Amino acid sequence: MAIVVSSSAFGDGDEIPQRFTCDGADVSPPLEFSGIPVNSAELALVVEDPDAPGGTFTHWSMWGIDPSRSSLGEGEVPLGAVQGNNDFGRQGYGGPCPPPGRPHRYVFTVSALSEPHGLAPGASAAGFRRAMAGKALDSGSLTGLYGRRRR
């Protein structure tokens, strides 16, 4: 059974509201998740743009999320959670900010881990992926779209 990830701000395959992008407040959207395996040690979250010109671009990674949680509020980093560096070169959330042209996909993935991630704050996206290898019990994702017009 896959983890179900949703948001009250946008539906799967729908446009991400400007508030959650670099053109708005650049704050993370609210997320809800269900179907977390009972034997999970922690949850991890990653937001990626697979359509970025240079390859997959990481907008946010966070781990150490209590597996008993079923949601994250807008802009929330829960107590005990740790954030990694995004591909903008800073720690925490960096909202969608594609070049002008066709909309990009932004994939919000929640994974249930069998053991703690163990990374320090500010870990790179590559370090995040290596630390997750073989630890995911299950995962689920929500995909939003965001595009900017050519001027």
Does residue 53 form part of some domain?
yes
Domain of residue 125 covers 27-73+81-105+113-133
Kindly state the average pLDDT of the residues 56-83.
96
Does residue 143 form part of some domain?
no
Q: Which two tokens stand for residue 92?
A: 């925490």
Does residue 15 form part of some domain?
no
- Give the distance, in angstroms, between the CA of residue 84 and the centroid of all CA atoms in the same chain: 11
Kindly state the average pLDDT of the residues 16-29.
97
Number of domains in the chain: 1
The model's pTM is 0.95
Judged against a pLDDT cut of 90, whether residue 4 lies above it is answered with yes
Q: CATH number for the domain including 60?
A: 3.90.280.10
Kind of pairing, strands 82-83 and 57-65?
Answer: antiparallel
